[in-house]
Chain A
Amino acid sequence: MSELAAVLPGVLEKAGWSVPGGLVPVLAMFICASIVAAAMGLSAAVLVWAERKLAGHFQCRLGPVYVGGKFGWLQSIADGIKLLLKEDIIPADADRPLFRLAPYLVVLGVFLAFIAFPVSEKLMVADLNIGIFFILAVLTLEVFGVILAGWASNNKWALLGAMRAAAQMVSYEIPMGLAILPVVVEAQSLSLKSIVAAQSGGMLRWYVFQPPFFMGVSFLIFFLAGLASLKRAPFDLPEAESELTAGFHTEYSGMRFSFFFMAEYAGMILVSGLAAALYLGGWHGILPGQSGAMWFLLKTAFLVFVMIWLRWTLPRLRIDQVVYVGWKVLTPFVLACVLGQALMAYK
């Protein structure tokens, strides 16, 4: 963003618009925010299509084929228009203000997290000192929104979904937070830019491949906990279509529903991108010297593919199994990783 603010006055002058100097940073903020919002919406649309298409092929089906020509590539646009045109229903016994607030909180959490999203050295809104920590912090807003949605709907399925979301959150948040610690210990920084910069110089310098693989294991744990935080299969208990209708968003329709939808898919990109930046060398290529936003996007896309792949492979866990995995498997393993990495750093 600071680069944009530095370039902006010149651009404005060329375009012949006069903007008071004090407003330039504000303008830069608005431009960044709208780029992030547009990217979020677009990527969600592309991902919804990709997920449906891949889901089809994973099950020997074709997925969408009709809308927009051969591959049904306009399917999610059509879905979006449909959702916009749908009636916005608020149940009579719902807590109206909270019911309305919840989807915005969910989107806000993911949206804020994109501020520190490191696409490439230049392409990030802001390189915060506490980048990764900031993202983890604002992502909790999303869970708050989900729980609020479930409670405000005043519906038993929504409430059950929200309670599961809360129970799940308590069990995955700790391994997720701890899983980034080995990386932070190794990179000695919380800023995503310096974490990625520390992994330059080819594939063998990526943190996943660093022997004795403390960071490799914590990558796995981060990825699993991230899946749980996105409420995706096999951790999609808060939604659980087969038991809870649609879980926490049972009562939502139209645009409000699509907010939850968008947050989920934007969250997939977020978690995959974070994993790519923390463990897979971010914008650095496979060979030494290669770098660029392309590499980051490729890695993110691969991790998103793995998420979709997992979703269409594994059945849903039970809530007690999720809590078991969170507390009794992921947490001890990640603690061992943190300890090991800290000892390595101590020497």
Chain B
Amino acid sequence: MSAEKVAFFILSGLTLGGGLAILFSVRLMRAVVYLLVSLFGVAGLYILLNAEFLAALQVLIYIGGITILMVFGLMLTGPGQFVNPAESRLKAVAAGVSSLTTAIVLLLIVKKTKWPAGTQALAGDTTAEIGRLLLTDHVFAFEIASVLLLVVLVGVALFVRLARDGGKP
């Protein structure tokens, strides 16, 4: 087995193991830490694919941004058990059914997709190429995403204002 394969199995183990641990942990803060592990695994997989820029983005945005925001929100919760699995039978059944359907659909898609195995060598420096593509071929999607984010930003500011000023815009 080559070193790359070993690294692949370790990293995918981290990713999947982290994901499973999130599912089975009942403490929210620990779940966030497992999420961190899982995201790290994904970043490592990106590095294996020579997509260093994506890996760094993954770390910067998901670990540095998303998980920290989650932690910021969760910080006001206590350290004890937060989720009680035996709380509601109905909820458990509903969750089971929905996740089962999602799993089946996903599996079907995975099976149906032909995974094209790339034969050409991996690109050396992906950063410049990503930048070029974002501002030429995919500029529309890029701008749409920015506009969406801007709308969200303004909307949140507006809502906070409304709440603070007592409903008068």
Q: Which residues of A contact B (CB under 8 A)?
A: 22, 93-95, 97-98, 101, 128-130, 133-134, 136-141, 143-144, 147-148, 150-152, 154, 159, 162-163, 166-167, 169-170, 173, 177, 190
Q: Which residue of the partner chain, among B29, B30, B72, contacts A166 with CB atoms under 8 Å? A: B72
> Would B75 and A93 count as touching, CB distance under 8 A?
no
- B68 A169 Cβ-Cβ under 8 A: yes
Asked if B52 contacts A147 (CB within 8 A), the reply is: no
Closest Cβ neighbor of B54 among chain A residues: A130
In the assembled complex, the Cα of A330 lies from the Cα of B108 at a distance in Å of: 50
CB-based A-B contact count at 8 angstroms:
88
| Interface size of B as a range | 20 to 34
CA distance A190 to B55 in the complex (A): 14
A129-B127, A130-B127, A133-B56 known; A140-B64 Cβ under 8 A: yes
* Interface residues of chain A: helix, strand, loop or mixed (majority): helix
Which B residues are CB-close (under 8 A) to A129?
A: 52-53, 124-125, 127
On whether the beta carbons of B125 and A173 are closer than 8 Å, the reply is no
Which partner residue on chain A sits nearest B30 by CB separation?
A98
Min Cβ gap B47→A in Å is 10
Would A137 and B30 be within 8 Å (CB), given that A143-B68, A163-B75, A166-B68 are in contact?
no
Q: How far is the CB of B70 from chain A (nearest CB, A)?
A: 10
CB within 8 Å of A: which B108-151 residues: 124-125, 127
Residues of A within 8 A of B59 (CB): 137-138, 140-141
Bound CA span A130–B128, Å: 10
Out of B30, B64, B125, name the residue touching A144 (CB < 8 Å).
Answer: B64
CB-CB under 8 A from A148, the residues of chain B are 29, 33, 71
> Given contacts A133-B53, A154-B79, A166-B71, is CB(A144)–CB(B127) below 8 Å?
no
**Cα-based distance from A15 to B59 in the complex (angstroms):** 41
Interfacial chain B residues near A95, Cβ < 8 Å: 27, 29-30, 79
| 8 pairs of A and B residues whose beta carbons are closest in the complex | A140-B64, A137-B59, A137-B60, A137-B56, A166-B72, A133-B56, A95-B79, A130-B52
Residues of B within 8 A of A137 (CB): 56-57, 59-60, 63-64
CA of A102 to CA of B56, assembled, Å: 21
Task: Flag if B64 contacts A143 (CB, 8 Å).
Answer: yes
Selected contact of B79 from candidates A93, A138, A143, A167, CB within 8 Å: A93
The DSSP consensus for interface residues of chain B is: helix
Residues of B within 8 A of A98 (CB): 29-30, 33
Cβ distance A59 to chain B, nearest Cβ, rounded Å: 36
Do the beta carbons of A147 and B127 come within 8 Å of each other?
Answer: no
**Interface 1/0s, chain B 23-51, versus A by CB < 8 A?**
00001011001001000000000000000
Interface centre among B64, B79, B124 (most CB of A within 10 A): B64
Chain A to chain B contacts (Cβ below 8 Å), 30 pairs: A22-B3, A93-B79, A97-B30, A101-B33, A128-B52, A129-B52, A129-B124, A134-B56, A137-B56, A137-B59, A137-B63, A138-B59, A139-B64, A140-B65, A141-B63, A144-B68, A147-B72, A148-B71, A151-B29, A151-B74, A152-B79, A163-B72, A166-B68, A166-B71, A169-B68, A170-B69, A173-B64, A173-B65, A190-B53, A190-B127
Q: Which residues of A contact B79 (CB under 8 A)?
A: 93-95, 151-152, 154
Compute how far the CA of A139 lies from the CA of B63 in the bound complex, rounded to whole angstroms: 10
Inter-chain CA distance A229–B30, complex, in Å, is: 24
- In the bound complex, CA of A133 to CA of B125 (Å): 14
Chain A residues contacting B69 (CB-CB under 8 Å) are 170
CB-defined contacts of A154 to chain B, threshold 8 Å: 79
Nearest CB in chain A to that of B79: its residue:
A95
Q: Give the shortest distance, in Å, between B81 (CB) and chain A (any CB).
A: 12
Q: Which of B57, B68, B125 neighbours the largest number of chain A CB atoms within 10 Å of its CB? A: B68
Cβ contact of A133, chosen from B30, B33, B60, B124, cutoff 8 A? B60
Q: Are B75 and A136 in contact (CB under 8 A)?
A: no
Bound CA–CA A162/B3 (angstroms)? 39
CB distance from A159 to the nearest CB of B (A): 7
Cβ-defined partner of A151 (8 Å) among B56, B65, B75: B75
How distant is the Cα of A139 from the Cα of B127 in the complex, in angstroms? 20
